[in-house]
Structure 1
Amino acid sequence: MAVKKRPKTLSQGRPPVTRPKERMSSQQSRTIIRTHHRLEKQRVAAVKKGDAESAEAIARSIEEKGGLKLYQAASKQGQSKDRGGDSSKVLVQWLRDANVIQDHTDITNTSIETRRCLEVGALSAKNEISKFTGQIEMTRIDLNSQGPGIAKQDFMERPLPRTPDEKFDVISLSLVLNYVPDAAQRGEMLKRVTQFLRRDNVSINPENSMSPAVFLVLPLPCVENSRYLDEQMLLRIMSNLGLTLVNKKITPKLCYYLFNFTGKGTGKKAGKRKVRDGPAMNNFCIIVE
């Protein structure tokens, strides 16, 4: 009987985040991030092939170029306010549109309930959604907490909720799924997310039919330039998990999606198959077993 491998934790894929010591230009940060990702993909490929010598050589090259520390600094800076990096601004706008939240100066609906939001991979306790105290109760987790208000925790190891009070109305996965180590684990993460969503709250806003929701943000190339994933396939995977598209926004670098949770998924599996091909495409993929 084959022994089932223990699922990888997020710490094996997504690096921790550190604070940049020096200000760098947008071009510098993009170059650092791209170079790190390219070398890391080469290192992982070498490990899978069993080529330990090449993997070690690539690892040394990564360190010589600043390693994770410099990469983390570039990633953190890329999400600074002056560069439009706070993805929760998009989520806030969508929640406003659905009348889930209102600006404190414009509150007219005194019956608005407090909603619980779990932010996976949180970088700041002072982002846009954090301003809605009393309307949104935030729970923030990250592999390496960057300060007060963010718990150090791997979502894949977070205990499953035992009561409705331990579940959430909104779960944010902003630039998290793309750091999960492999395609099958990405599928496991999405399946796990649905277990943390409230099922007793049929609709956050009956008028808009917005059920408990998942906010998903990915680098645009994951959807637009992958051999194994396009938007149609992504939406099919989410639909099979009981998640229906409510809103989307595409920018030159990112794609933002808001899904409502109906709990009526088909449970169908999603394997790895090419949807297109090209010499400059990446291999980002989501497998649901």
Structure 2
Amino acid sequence: MSAKKKKQITNLANGRPPVFNKPKSFSRKATKAIINKHHLLQKRKRQALKKGDKEEEARIDKEIEALGGLQKYQEASLQGQRHDRGGDSSRVLMEWLKSVLSPEKAGPSQRLRMLEVGALSTENACSKSGFFDIERIDLNSQSQGIKQQDFMKRPLPKDQSEMFDIISLSLVLNYVPEAKERGEMLRRTTQFLFPPGRHYPTPELAANFPSLFLVLPAPCVTNSRYLDDDRLEAIMGSLGYVKVCFKQSKRLVYYLWRRGQVPEESKARFPKKEIRPGSTRNNFAVILD
């Protein structure tokens, strides 16, 4: 592995794998084993980097290569994403919005601007709906119509022409490797959405936009030592978000958060704090300074 790749990266690219058009097929069990082992090795490598332990870093690199290297992990990761997604997660969003975006209430001239972070396809339910003008970005785009870009490095909007009515973060936040970076990603979404109070042609649209569509693996919220639905809602509330819709499936949790005014008294900090002890819990957390 080159010296460039050994540098510590503090952005989404450190966690989320790129997309391949034709990944090798893995069983669910094999997929989980490959992903879990690779994530463990990457965690150990980040610890070695922080300590400046070059020997340990080299040993971990050899273990990663013995597993088949980055390519096999990337293939397994995409396969795992497909298992976890259970298909197109944007179908849930469209189900929530189907009455709001019906032709009787929002004609073709009222297309909304969407930023889809971590886009995998240009053919999902939102794309086919005809209600959105979509800008799609991903860390490693393999498709035309998806711009290769790290959301955390995207230039901030210069004016409202570069802002959006809705941002989609579907199975993106969970790939950010550090809890503090997850908090910063959530905070950053507010900078790309139109300001609260934006005029919309119908009350139904105003009740749902501008907004953030957030999808996470269910255990991130249902089985974490450091995060549950109440704490996530408190974190989002401190950023001015109001929960509009929620759905939980066996593997995923889906949220629609409308951007509102940040409470004037909101100076709450959300450190890593155990709220649900237990040996079987995971360590997923969101830190917001």
What range describes the TM-score normalised by the shorter chain of this pair? 0.7 to 0.9
SS of 1:15's partner is coil
Where do residues 75-94 of structure 1 align in structure 2 (5 Å cutoff)? 75-80=77-82, 84-94=86-96
* Corresponding position of 1:194: 190
TM-score, normalised relative to structure 2: 0.86
CA distance in 1, matches of 2:201, 2:33: 41
TM-score, normalised relative to structure 1: 0.86
* Corresponding position of 1:270: 270
Instruction: Work out whether 1:165 is the aligned partner of 2:161.
Output: yes
CA distance in 1, matches of 2:225, 2:200: 36
Q: Deviations over 1:17-50 (max 9, x none)?
A: 2234433333332332233223323333444455
Contact 1:202 1:212 in 2 (8 A): no
Structure 2: tracts of 5 or more residues without a match: 1-7
Greater shift after overlay, 251-260 or 8-17? 8-17
The residue identity in structure 1 corresponding to 2:181 is: Q
* Corresponding position of 1:121: 118
CA distance in 1, matches of 2:160, 2:248: 33
The 3 A distance-change label for structure 1 pair 48 and 93 is same
Contact 2:136 2:145 in 1 (8 A): yes
SS of 2:203's partner is coil
* Corresponding position of 1:288: 288
Greater shift after overlay, 10-19 or 224-233? 10-19
CA distance in 1, matches of 2:136, 2:187: 20
CA distance in 2, matches of 1:82, 1:153: 23
Selected match of 1:64 from 44, 63, 66: 66
The residue identity in structure 1 corresponding to 2:186 is: L
How many positions carry a matched residue from both structures?
277
CA distance in 1, matches of 2:54, 2:222: 33
* Corresponding position of 1:3: none
The 3 A distance-change label for structure 1 pair 193 and 7 is farther
The 3 A distance-change label for structure 1 pair 280 and 61 is farther
* Corresponding position of 1:16: 18
The 3 A distance-change label for structure 1 pair 83 and 234 is closer
CA distance in 1, matches of 2:281, 2:201: 39
The 3 A distance-change label for structure 1 pair 224 and 53 is farther
SS of 2:185's partner is helix
Selected match of 2:247 from 246, 249, 257: 249
* Corresponding position of 1:239: 237
* Corresponding position of 2:5: none
CA distance in 2, matches of 1:229, 1:21: 32
Q: What's the C-alpha RMSD, in Å, of the aligned pairs?
A: 2.5
The 3 A distance-change label for structure 1 pair 93 and 267 is farther
Q: Deviations over 1:47-98 (max 9, x none)?
A: 445544334323322221123212221232344499723211111111214x
Q: Deviations over 1:215-261 (max 9, x none)?
A: 11111221122221111111100001000111111122211111111
Contact 1:124 1:146 in 2 (8 A): no
Contact 2:116 2:136 in 1 (8 A): yes
SS of 1:236's partner is helix
Q: Deviations over 1:114-142 (max 9, x none)?
A: 00110011111111211023x10010001
Instruction: Work out whether 1:132 is the aligned partner of 2:134.
Output: no
Contact 1:205 1:211 in 2 (8 A): no
CA distance in 1, matches of 2:84, 2:248: 19
Structure 1: tracts of 5 or more residues without a match: 1-5
Selected match of 2:143 from 141, 147, 151: 147
The residue identity in structure 1 corresponding to 2:244 is: V
CA distance in 2, matches of 1:239, 1:202: 22
